[in-house]
């Protein structure tokens, strides 16, 4: 039995171990901050000096080109944030009103919201203890129990709705086990749209996250590994999908020297040039930033190596994680100590947070279809994130 005294001792021990990694500071050490140590001032100033700050200018094209090359795909389309990237990706991959989309219950709310924005219903499935991402084995079992093949693809026998997509989310930059997921996708004829918003720079068996599905999506929010202030992107090897994404996110305006003609209802989701300039400068630093974040992760692994009752999440064999956020996972019998540890860390000036509220626990998704979520429920009570900024690699 874990007593209050034992919980407090464990919390104090964890605070000491985190301090060994992040060093001393008079101020609160945040969970993750943006860092501007490259050509950001130069490129943004160029936008200001030339007046190209909005939706025209060269930096959007440059950012899209460099991003596609880094992510191992033929095309990228820059947009205003990761949520709209996923919304558009789902829409142009065939998700529509009355469909269902399979996604993990353990994810940020934007994943489920994008499904709803596309007019579909989220269908929640369980996570994997080793990756925190969607569990292919659990999904296979759930599909065999719940789905059948219809003339237009997989159908949920209980609701009668078509299952239009699978959305794996690479939580905290740790790659989902994609190979068996791709097999499921092929067997059930359900396309994969990757939520790679946290995993820029992560790879699975040597291939970048975001390049496996019919489309992938990224986020460049201020807390991500690189930032454009806000911002997101769609990734694909499919030229037709890339053109469709560009058209829909730029108000469906037909190219013309002076005429404004729009051929369908669309969206003004374009990334402004000034934000893309910031992204170009940030992208130049991404390899060294990943190296720094992996050094931080290694320091956590060493600091917590002999701790009984909790472990630091590590990448799986064949995977390469960007370690966007480091995760401490308590053993099942120590779950009740989580809140004491969170309080001790934050009281000590070390920002830490629990994992997101699971999607099926949110009021707007409480009635959504779901599989058995035993692992997700357990992880939600046992995982916290620790300070993970790249600059901490130089902490003493």
Fold of 4-33+286-394: 3.90.1150
- Contact present, 87 and 215 (Cβ < 8 Å): no
Q: What is the mean pLDDT of residues 256-279?
A: 96
> What single-letter DSSP state applies at residue 54?
S
SS3 state of residue 330: strand
Domain 40-284: top CATH class: alpha beta
Please, what is the Cα angle at 20 between 26 and 315, to 5 degrees?
120
CA-to-CA distance for 243 and 373, rounded, in angstroms? 38
Q: How many CB atoms lie within 10 A of CB 226?
A: 22
CA-to-CA distance for 374 and 380, rounded, in angstroms? 10
Q: What is the pLDDT of residues 28-69, one digit of tens each?
A: 999 999 999 999 999 999 999 999 999 888 999 999 999 999
Q: What is the pLDDT of residues 40-49, one digit of tens each?
A: 999 999 999 9
23-27, 69-73, 120-124: lowest mean pLDDT where?
Answer: 23-27
Q: pLDDT tier at 2 (50, 70, 90 boundaries)?
A: low
Q: Which H helix or E strand runs over 311?
A: strand 310-312
Q: Which H helix or E strand runs over 4?
A: helix 4-22
Residue 57, pLDDT score: 87
Domain-by-domain residue ranges, the chain? 4-33+286-394, 40-284
Q: What is the pLDDT of residues 221-250, one digit of tens each?
A: 999 999 999 999 999 999 999 999 999 999
Q: Which residues are CB-contacts of 163 (< 8 A; sequence separation ≥ 6)?
A: 99, 100, 101, 102, 123, 147, 153, 154, 155, 156, 188, 190
Q: What is the pLDDT of residues 165-189, one digit of tens each?
A: 999 999 999 999 999 999 999 999 9
Residue ranges of alpha helices (H) inside 23-58 are: 40-50
């Amino acid at each position: 039995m874990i007593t209050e005294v034992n919980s407090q001792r464990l919390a104090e021990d964890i605070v000491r171990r985190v301090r060994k990694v992040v060093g001393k500071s008079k101020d609160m050490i945040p969970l993750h901050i943006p860092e501007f140590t490259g050509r950001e001032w130069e490129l943004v100033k160029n936008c200001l000096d030339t007046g190209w700050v909005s939706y025209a200018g060269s930096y959007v094209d440059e950012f899209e080109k460099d991003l596609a090359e880094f992510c191992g795909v033929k095309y990228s389309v820059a947009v205003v944030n990761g949520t709209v990237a996923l919304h558009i990706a789902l829409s142009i991959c065939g998700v529509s009103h009355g469909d269902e989309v399979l996604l993990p219950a353990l994810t940020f709310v934007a994943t489920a919201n994008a499904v709803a924005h596309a007019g579909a219903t989220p269908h929640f499935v369980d996570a994997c203890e080793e990756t925190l991402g969607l569990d292919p084995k659990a999904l296979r079992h759930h599909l065999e129990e719940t789905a059948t093949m219809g003339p237009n693809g997989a159908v949920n026998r209980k609701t009668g709705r078509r299952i239009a997509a699978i959305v794996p989310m690479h939580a905290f930059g740790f790659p989902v086990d994609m190979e068996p997921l791709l097999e499921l996708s092929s067997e059930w004829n359900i396309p994969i749209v990757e939520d790679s918003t946290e995993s820029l720079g992560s790879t699975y068996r040597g291939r970048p996250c975001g390049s496996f599905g019919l489309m992938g999506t990224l986020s460049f929010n201020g807390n991500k590994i690189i930032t454009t202030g806000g911002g997101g992107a769609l990734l694909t090897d499919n030229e037709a999908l890339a053109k469709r994404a560009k058209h829909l996110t730029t108000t469906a305006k037909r190219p013309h020297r002076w005429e404004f003609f729009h051929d369908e209802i669309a969206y003004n989701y374009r990334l402004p040039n000034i934000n893309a300039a910031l992204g170009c400068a940030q992208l130049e630093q991404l390899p060294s930033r990943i190296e720094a974040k992996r050094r931080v992760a290694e320091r956590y692994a060493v600091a917590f190596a002999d701790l009984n009752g909790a472990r630091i999440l590590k990448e799986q064999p064949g995977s390469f994680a960007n370690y966007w956020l480091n995760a401490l996972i308590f053993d099942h019998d120590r779950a009740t100590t989580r809140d004491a540890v969170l309080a001790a860390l934050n009281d000590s000036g070390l920002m830490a947070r629990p994992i997101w509220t699971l999607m099926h626990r949110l009021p707007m998704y409480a009635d959504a279809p779901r599989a058995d979520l035993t692992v997700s429920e357990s992880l939600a009570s046992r995982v916290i994130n620790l300070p993970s900024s790249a600059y901490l690699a130089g902490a003493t």
